[in-house]
Amino acid sequence: MGIGRKGREKDMGEREGRGKDREKAIGEKKEKKEREKVLGGEEMWVKGGGERGNKGVGEGEGKSGLGSLHHYLDDHQSLPDNHTSQKVHQPLPVNTPCLHHDPITTKMSRRLAEDLGYMKNDSGFFSKAVHEGVSSSKWSHRALVPPVVTSTLFDLSSDEDYFYSRIKNPTRSCLQEALAATENAKFGVVVSSGQAASSLVVHLLKTGDHIVAMDDIYAGTNTVLRDIVPRMGIEIDFVDMRDLSYVRKLLKSNTKLVWIESPSNPTMKVIDIRALADMVKQHEGILLAIDNTFMSPYFQRPLDLGADIVMHSMSKYINGHSDVVMGGVVTNREDVYNRLDSLFTTLGPVPSAFDCYLVLRSLKTLPVRMEQHMMTGLEVARFLEGHPCVEKVLHPGLPSHPQHQLSKSQSFGHSGMFSFYIKGNDLETAKNFLKKLKVFTQATSLGGPESLCVHPATITHQQLPLEERERYGITAGLIRVSCGLETPAHLTADLDQALRAAVPY
Ligand SMILES: Cc1ncc(COP(=O)(O)O)c(C=O)c1O
């Protein structure tokens, strides 16, 4: 990769040293490859050692690699006395002693989602989040933390991969690899915002093509589809995709993209991703793209359910610290990736190397944060469901949610996102409630450590026509909640005091 090389002015002796460094790095790469071969190669974190990107949940179990060992231990609690699996004696990429205890801790931390009946999550996800994309063998100095390569240009005197940072950048490459791994994808592209990611996907199409999009989606995406897409000469239809027969009726010979968000922002509608993917696959040339921002790859991996493209606003859970704006797109389709990569180079939505470094850092704690967001979110949602000042709570993890069963059958849990209708469902009460909050902040965005409440009708979705908002359920009394990482009791106490102060009950 050439990071850490000293520069043009160095004398021949140093050049020789540099050559040796590079040789060493190549040797290390080889050594790592050999080690990975023994451990199951790049599939080593995938549950059951299955093929990355092509395995459904629960498929391909018990083959090779760390994943299968975790899986075995999940079922058996401890290794049998006579267990002499060669895997334990290999130079494992994670702390070997943890293997004997890990199943207990992962079992405990994932108990909530599993007890609620969500799909069993990949026990290797935690390791994947820490190690993918950031191997120290990529650079000669072997730093464990990837270098922040701010250089826009690269010395072209050797045939390295890097040329100019708009086209490719080492820190960005690490993040792309790591992001793709978390979604069980082969390819990833990271861009300067979630909006840029949606725009890049839309640019896969050309004049004369047709898109079918879910009607109730993030307002920014809605604007891209309503404003930009028709100017490109692309037709667009919006439809409520909870009933897939509506989608079927809209598919036609020039349909090239089906766009969904599940759960939707802010009304938390859940779409049957598997069934939609099956339907789309019956029509040649249609791509199914899903905005997975609300779930993060930890709780939902749509490529495994049959989607072709997953898009993220990484400004939310993936970065998770409310300090980076970034987007990402992943896919298993090489043709789609090549086109996205070429569009990226041409359109230039480049995220900074420093931001890529920050998001790589955040990715390592994604599973831990998501577990906590889920626990806190559910506790707060349950509290509100029983509150006299609340009309209704929309949270896919609650049995009262209309697609609760569906949600559990296609996800591994749920994030800290949900919405609720305040009693009376009127603007004045909603605004008063928001003003009284002391621990929650009234702010847009989501997925950070601080808990937020926002009023979709006047903030995030205010650009939609009133009649449309009402149809989707974005009424004056709807409040969207992003549960952060604070003490749950502080959050419920805050909501309670604000509700009692604002609602005339
Ligand atoms: C579901 C969803 N998708 C996409 C976006 C756009 O992402 P960004 O703000 O990173 O451009 C947002 C932003 O709030 C969002 O909530």
User: pLDDT digit string (tens) for 279-301?
Assistant: 999 999 999 999 999 999 999 99
Binding site membership of 452 for ligand 1 (Cβ less than 6 Å): no
| CB of 315 sitting under 6 A from ligand 1 | yes
Least confident of 29-38, 93-102, 364-373, 400-409: 93-102
Evaluate whether 457 touches 350 at the Cβ level (below 8 Å): no
Contact between 441 and 451 under an 8 Å Cβ cutoff? The reply is yes
Measuring CA to CA, which residue among 504, 358, 501 is closest to residue 433?
501
The pLDDT value given to residue 87: 33
pLDDT at residue 21, rounded to an integer? 54
Q: Which of 33, 166, 249, 281 is catalytic?
A: 166
Between 100 and 143, where is the model more confident? 143
* Catalytic-residue membership of 248: no
Do 457 and 479 contact (CB within 8 A), yes or no?
A: no
CA-closest residue to ligand 1 atom 9: 194
3-state SS class at 235: strand
Residue range 431-468, pLDDT digits in tens: 999 999 999 999 999 999 999 999 999 998 988 899 99
Distances (CA, A) of 322 to 97, 231, 317, 401, 446: 35, 33, 9, 29, 8
% of the chain with per-residue pLDDT over 90: 73
Range with the largest mean pLDDT of 37-41, 43-47, 434-438, 469-473? 434-438
Q: Phi-psi bin for 66: left (phi > 0), alpha (psi -120 to 50), beta?
A: alpha
Mean per-residue pLDDT over the chain, rounded: 84
Pairing state between β 210-214 and 235-239 = parallel
**Ligand 1 contact via 292 beta carbon (within 6 Å):** no
Mean pLDDT throughout 104-120? Answer: 75
Q: Which atom of ligand 1 is least distant from the CA of 196?
A: 11
pLDDT of residue 4: 43
Q: Which domains does the chain have, with CATH numbers?
A: 12-138 (no CATH), 170-363 (3.40.640.10), 367-502 (3.90.1150.10)
What's at 384, amino acid-wise? L
What pLDDT score was predicted for residue 1?
A: 40
User: Residue 90, Cβ neighbours under 10 Å: how many?
Assistant: 13
- Catalytic site residue 316? yes
Mean pLDDT computed over 241-254:
97
- Tell me what pLDDT residue 159 has: 75
Query: Which secondary-structure segment (H or E) carries 421?
Result: strand 417-422
Q: Check pocket membership of 60 for ligand 1, CB cut-off 6 A.
A: no
- Whether 74 is catalytic is no
pTM: 0.82
pLDDT over 70, % of the chain: 78
Task: Judge whether 291 counts as a catalytic residue.
Answer: yes
Best probe residue, ligand 1, of 265, 300, 359, 459 (max atoms within 8 Å of C-beta):
265
pLDDT of residue 49: 34
Contact, 419 vs 430, CB < 8 A?
no
Helices (H) and strands (E) in the chain, counts: 19, 12
- Per-residue pLDDT tens over the stretch 144-188: 999 999 999 999 998 788 999 999 999 999 999 999 999 999 999
Indicate which atom in ligand 1 lies nearest the CA of residue 294: 1
Bridge partners (DSSP) listed for residue 419: 394, 480
Residue 17 has pLDDT above 50, yes or no: no
